Structure 1
Amino acid sequence: MTVTVDTAAPAEASTSTDRASELINAMAALPAGHPSRPGLRDRAIEGWMPLARHLANRYANRGEPRDDLYQVAVMGLIKAVDRFDGERGVDFAGFAIPTIVGELKRYFRDKTWSVRVPRRLQELRLAITGANNTLSHTLGRSPTVADIAGHLGITEDEVIEGLEGARAYNSTSLSTPIADSGTELGETLGGEDTGFEDAELRIALAPALASLNEREQKIVTLRFYGNLTQQQIAEQIGISQMHVSRLLTKALVKLRGQLDGAGI
């Protein structure tokens, strides 16, 4: 049986969907181990393939091959077919769609990070992204770290940690060709005379530093003026290197906010 969503006439598509529903309901009604169940299962999967392709196409043009996305969607479809229970009063489409979409989202969460980061940070990054979108609409401006922390019910340090982890999501190789001549991305990265900008930045930096607390000022000074590593700073202050990293990131976020306010 060949079923297509994109080219079939509406009546034909409806008939195909009805037939696919009949197959899945017939399969679900049979007890496990029934000799007719495997055949009905295969035909039901085939009948619902257009749904898997349709959902996979929603996630196209996000940097992943369409064929790979389709395969992921099919795996979600198979899970839905195998787990479907017609006695729960939910039609198959209503059960299958969130199952397939869940597989696609999991694929992007697990497979498209340039650098592997803990699952907790991956999920935190998604939560922060969602909060940022929501708050941007409700507040009418870009939300601050404090806004996002309050919305999600987490600490500001956790928000900063999630933002740090997000940096691992995408990367582009400097060897990436950008022209038919073979020019690579790295060859186009030139340098500008930043002397004037540096002078302006130094003038604005003093009051920005004054906005930090004593420990943050010390960490920034040791890192950027003393050229100490985070581990060396941790040993000098008596805290962990991870804590130094978080405090340093938090301090830099504050400095960036102060400099943005100064128009730098």
Structure 2
Amino acid sequence: MADVGNKTSPSTSGGQSSWDGRERRGPGRQDDEARARKLLETMRAGGPDAAAARDALILQFRPLVQKQARHFLTGSVPFEDLVQEGFLGLMYAIDQYDPHRGAKLITYATHHIDGHLRHFLRDRVQIIKEPAWLQEMAQRVRRETETLTHELGREPTDAELAHAMGLSEAEIARINATRATFAVASLDEAQESGAPAAHVAESNLQAAATELPLEDKIVLENALVRLKEIERKVLYSFYYDDKSQTEIARELGVSNNYISHILKNSARKLQQMFRSDAVREAALQHEQRRRRLATHGPAALAAEEEAAAPPSVVDPVTGLYTAEYFQARLDEEVSRALRHQLELSLIRVAVGEDTPEAALFVRIAQTIKGCMR
């Protein structure tokens, strides 16, 4: 995959780092801090060694980035994406760090690495999987937004975006509202980051959640009825009636903090419910497979599963990513580069079929793939 410029290359490059991310004490830790300060001074002094000093400083913190990324590993986001975001936080910290304020560089870097990771996951991780139609529409909105942002030099308005996509402003608002409804898990993250929970989706809920497609609304309602009455009332008021945290607290005669507590705990309960449902569904599928195996035999079952299997992200002949998966990942990299105003590099290796050089080009591409994202 493409990498976001040379700035992020330390995430996959070789070399040893003396900084393992642990809070060590004594001479070893002091040497690490002193070396980092020296590299920072060289980098900011400019001159021929500035770029090399910056790369060395990033490499020194590579284990710290990887360590913090593992803390946020959930299985729904690739580890390499977390590391990439962690390095963006590290580079921001290196550029903004002021040694005269007293904070240690590792402490300052850890804060910004975690901040970037939390922000990234807040936008990506959801406890309710978005349906295919919503994912496709969201991707269209994202692509058109990026195109218009590049053309206009600013983010487009809903009216401009709707005109470019051939939709109405109400339809754009409905898409945003639907996606916000599926992002219940971000309430928990907002509490940890210190932001008021009610503000997480409030700005996007321009249309009521009752505009969800029927099958998605049923999924939510079936889960909500398993909560306590006050939890259902708060969640319905917040997501379906589009009421603010303050309005809900006033109606129930309780404090805003208590409403925040209910929203946070309810999100966690919903998350556990959907995970439990997924486990039960997996057990049911296993039993159904066992019965089909006993009825039809292994050969027929294998043919049936192969026909129903989702397409692989890797081409079985070349061992490289398929065009569809590559395009999806490239879209993510472009979005990341635009968000952080970074350069984007792409290497394309064309492999002709049935040519003497094909095998060589495949090996070259695989080598490049192993060195870049």
Q: Give the TM-score range, shorter chain.
A: 0.3 to 0.5
TM-score, length basis structure 2? 0.33
TM-score, length basis structure 1? 0.45
Could you say which structure has the larger radius of gyration?
Answer: 1
Q: Which has the higher contact order (CA 8 A, sep 6+)?
A: 2
